[in-house]
Amino acid sequence: DIQMTQSPSSLSASVGDRLTISCRASQSVTNFLNWYQQKPGKAPRLLIYSATTLQSGVPSRFSGSGSGTDFILTINSLQPEDFATYYCQQNADIPLTFGGGTKVEIK
Amino acid sequence: EVQLWESGGAFVQPGGSLRLSCAASGFAFRNYAMTWVRQPPGKGLEWVSSIGPKSLATYYADSVKGRCTVSRDDSKNTFYMDLSSLRDDDTAVYYCARASSLVGSTPTYFFDYWGQGNLVTVAS
C-alpha cells in the first residue's frame, strides 16, 4: 500500500497569510495526487486533482505543485473560509489512500 | 446540479449487517464509477470501496474485503454497499462520492462530488 504522510498535522495562521502544506508518498505516484478541504460536519470538497489542476469553482488562491513523491498545497492570502482540514489522496494504485490531514486554525 | 444522497445509516450491533444506499442525480450516472469513503469520529478519511461503470469492476479496502459488496442499479441511479460482520471500528460517517478518472477505465479515481454523509454506529 502507498502511505501518504502530511505535514504539519496542524498549524495556526492569520487571514492574509500564505501557507503551504506538504504531502509525501511512500513511493512514486507520478502526478496522481489530489487535495481536499473539509470543514467540521461537512463532506470533503475536491480542490485540486492531478497534483496541479484546480477543480472548477475553486478560488485561484489555491494551487498545487509536485510530482513523484513530494507535493505541496499552497494557499495564497488565507481567507476566513479557508480555516479547515486539508487532505491529500493518491490515486495511482489501489488501495486509494489519504494523508492524515492538516488542520488549519486561526492564530 | 450533481447531487448525492446517502441513506441506510443506523445503530447496529456487532456482528450485524447493513445496506447503505446512495441516490444520484444531475449527471450521467451510468458513465461514472462510484465510491464509498468513511470517516471515524474525530479521525481522517478512509477509502472503503469503488465500483466502476457498468459494474465491470469492484475494488475494496483490506479492512472490509470479504465483508463488503458494492453494487449499482443504473436504472435507479443508485448504488449500494452491503457490509456484514460489523465491528466497533466500522463506526464512522460513510460518504458516497462520484469517482472520476482521467485514465480510461483504470481505478485512478479522485472524488469530485460527495454526499452529505451518513453515520453508522456499531455498538452493543
Q: Determine the pLDDT at residue B55.
A: 79
Q: Determine the pLDDT at residue B3.
A: 97
Given an 8 Å threshold on Cβ–Cβ distance, is A44 in contact with B111?
yes
Asked if residue A8 has pLDDT above 90, the reply is yes
- Specify whether the CB–CB gap between A72 and A52 falls below 8 A: no
Partner residue opposite B47 with nearest CB, options A49, A97, A101: A97
Confidence tier at A104 by pLDDT (50, 70, 90): very high
> Which residues in chain A are closer than 8 Å to B101, comparing Cβ atoms?
91
Disruptive mutation site among B37, B43, B110, B114 for chain A (greatest number of A CBs within 10 Å): B110
Given an 8 Å threshold on Cβ–Cβ distance, is B47 in contact with A98?
yes
Q: Determine the pLDDT at residue A22.
A: 98
Looking at the DSSP bridge assignments, the partners of residue B73 are B78
* CA dist list (Å): B119 to A6, A13, A96, B9, B20: 26, 31, 22, 5, 10
| Share above pLDDT 90 across residues of chain B, in percent, rounded to a whole number | 89
Q: Determine the pLDDT at residue A79.
A: 96
Sign, CA torsion A84/A47/A81/A71: positive
> Which residues in chain B are closer than 8 Å to A38, comparing Cβ atoms?
45
> Which residues in chain A are closer than 8 Å to B59, comparing Cβ atoms?
94-95
Asked if residue B77 has pLDDT above 90, the reply is yes
pLDDT tens, residue by residue, A30-87: 999 999 999 999 999 999 999 999 999 999 999 999 999 999 999 999 999 999 999 9
Q: Which of B96, B103, B108, B104 is nearest to B34 (CA)?
A: B96
Disruptive mutation site among A28, A38, A96 for chain B (greatest number of B CBs within 10 Å): A96
Q: Determine the pLDDT at residue A57.
A: 97
Q: Strands B68-73 and B11-12, how do they pair?
A: unpaired
Distance CA A80, CA A54 (A): 20
Disruptive mutation site among A91, A97, A98 for chain B (greatest number of B CBs within 10 Å): A91
Instruction: Give the three-state DSSP class for A64.
Output: strand
Lowest average pLDDT, out of A15-19, B1-5, B63-67, B98-102, goes to B98-102
What DSSP letter does each residue of B51-88 carry, written as one string? Answer: E-GGG--EEE-TTTTTTEEEEEETTTTEEEEEE-S--G
> Which residues in chain B are closer than 8 Å to A36, comparing Cβ atoms?
45, 111
Distance CA A70, CA A90 (A): 11
Over residues B54-68, mean pLDDT: 93
Cα B92 versus chain centre, distance = 12
Q: Determine the pLDDT at residue B106.
A: 83
Mean pLDDT of chain B: 95
Asked if residue A93 has pLDDT above 90, the reply is yes
Q: For chain A, list residues whose CB is within 8 angstroms of any CB belonging to chain B.
A: 32, 34, 36, 38, 43-46, 49-50, 55, 87, 89, 91-92, 94-101
Asked if residue B74 has pLDDT above 90, the reply is yes
Distance CA B61, CA B68 (A): 9
Partner residue opposite B110 with nearest CB, options A38, A91, A100: A91
Instruction: Give the three-state DSSP class for B103.
Output: coil
